Amino acid sequence: MKLILLFSLLAFSILHAADKPFNMPGLKQDIEFAKAGNVSLTLDAFVPEGAGPFATCILVHGGGFTKGDKHSFIKPLFEPLSKAGFTWFTINYRLAPEHAWPACATDVASAIKWVKAHAAEYKVDVNRIALIGESAGGHLVSWAGVTGEGETRVAAVVPFYAPHDLVVQVERRKALGGLGGLIGTEELNDAALKKLADISPLNHIKPGLPPFLQIHGDKDETVPLSQSVNFEAKTKAAGNRCETIVVPGGAHGMGGWEKLGSDYQTRLIAWLRKTLQ
């Protein structure tokens, strides 16, 4: 009977652990950076001790464009960036299907503008801002990297296992999936493929882009490593800097990489320090 009670209590604890609010020392939470209609867009901010200004990272979570928030999926980067002395922000953005493209991309651009506008308050060096995103967030930071100009341009971009070519993604699955909600259609036809091509970062590569660092597992069955391989090749062909860290045995999602003993966090920090020096 005691054993049954113990298992019941354990199951209850696990079930409700996710209900506890996220907390981290030094993290300022739920700061509004934009208003889109009746939607309040918020971010969390971490600022190191010291005078600054500091190299800064803006983090964009994944979730297939349809789910997730600023504490989802990308959380393994919070502690390494904090210990390395970066100011960093993690942002929410509007999700499909309720909000179709370009809502999510607009929100990332708004976050970049807000961070620059509030640089003094958060000890941000506006000339040393990097975008970091994973999965759908990787697509969004790459989109911002290849299209950003003026006040939305950044110094570096780090996409994790990003779908840079959305046409390839739907053709290999033979279905739109969550991308249908993103582009406002559920029918996989020529018009849908054109929309997907238009919003694929791979198709907007040009000379003069900021440096890119891609991080991708070689066992990713959701977004194949070939997406990063092709993006690197085309980016370099246009005269830009692009590197790719391959995580051996890595599936989709950095949360599972800890068990692999990967040094991707150390290599990420080293690359950021060198690139943003």
Residues 87, 81: Cα–Cα separation, whole Å:
8
Q: What is the pTM of this model?
A: 0.92
Q: What CATH number does residue 66 fall under?
A: 3.40.50.1820
Whether the CA torsion 58, 126, 164, 216 is positive or negative: it is negative
Question: What counts of helices (H) and strands (E) characterise the chain?
Answer: 9, 8
- pLDDT tens for the chain, residues 1 to 277: 433 333 333 333 333 333 345 677 889 999 999 999 999 999 999 999 999 999 999 999 999 999 999 999 999 999 999 999 999 999 999 999 999 999 999 999 999 999 999 999 999 999 999 999 999 999 999 999 999 999 999 999 999 999 999 999 999 989 998 899 999 999 999 999 999 999 999 999 999 999 999 999 999 999 999 999 999 999 999 999 999 999 999 999 999 998 999 999 999 999 999 999 9
Q: How many domains does the chain have?
A: 1
Q: Cα 64 from chain centroid?
A: 11
Does residue 4 lie within any of the structural domains? Answer: no
For 194, the domain range is 24-275
Identify which of 208, 230, 196, 94 has the alpha carbon closest to the alpha carbon of residue 153.
Answer: 208
Alpha helix positions (H), the chain: 2-17, 78-83, 103-117, 136-147, 166-173, 179-183, 190-198, 226-237, 264-275
Alpha helix ranges (H) inside 35-165: 78-83, 103-117, 136-147
**16 in a domain, yes or no?**
no
